[in-house]
Amino acid sequence: MSVLVGKKAPDFKAAAVVNGEDIVEDFSLEQYKGKKNVLLFFYPKDFTFVCPTELHAFQEKLDEFKKRDVEVVAVSTDTEQSHWGWLQMSKDDGGIKGVKYPVVADTNKTISHNYDVLAGEFYYDENDQLATDGEMVAYRGLFLIDKEGTVRHQLVNDMPLGRNVNEALRIVDALQFFEEKGDVCPANWEKGKGGMKASHDGVADYLSKN
């Protein structure tokens, strides 16, 4: 598994559904560079069980991300037509109607591969035929990308393990606290708490206040 933290986030151009209904053919992260932070998350499949709970959970907190100047973008290996159909289905029927952030179609699986969250691998068998090892869908990867296009945080869960959206918000808050104050964030840091100076005096000062 590649560690992308500290590196430039792989860019891409792909079809996506935006605003819950409009299909665009050349969606790219480049539009946010220099303007917005991006929370990019991958999920395995449309029309499944854990996945819609995550997509709805990110939508419920979308205003909180936007307050923090963060754009949320979802990606799976399904087609844009599959995304569009799922977006028309109500939550009660297992759909994701109401999700307004972009849902990207990684149909050729290159985005998932470049972020190293693709569960399966291609190989050639003994007959020189292209084959796969594992299901060619994405793990539950999550990447926080800053305005300069650099990955500052990544998390990858296995298929059965849904993510905590509040934790994603906490990480955004921690990054922005560091960028604003220059103080680092200790274990279990939450918005509203003090940070630590990157020195022994800073550690002592933090411990005396907490």
Question: What is the set of domains in the chain, with CATH numbers?
Answer: 14-163 (3.40.30.10), 164-210 (no CATH)
User: What is the Cα gyration radius of the chain?
Assistant: 19
Which of 40, 51, 55, 144 is the catalytic position?
51
pLDDT at 102: 98
pLDDT at 8: 97
| DSSP assignments along 95-143, one per residue | --TT--S-EEE-TTSHHHHHTT-BS-EEEE-TTS-EEEES--SB-EEEE
Residues of the chain with pLDDT under 70: 1, 199-210
Report helix, strand or coil for 193. Answer: coil
pLDDT at 143: 98
Residue in the structure block whose two tokens are 């499949």: 45
pLDDT at 2: 86
The yes-or-no answer on residue 185 being catalytic is: no
pLDDT at 134: 79
Using one digit for the tens of pLDDT, what is the confidence trace for 167-193? 999 999 999 999 888 888 889 988 888
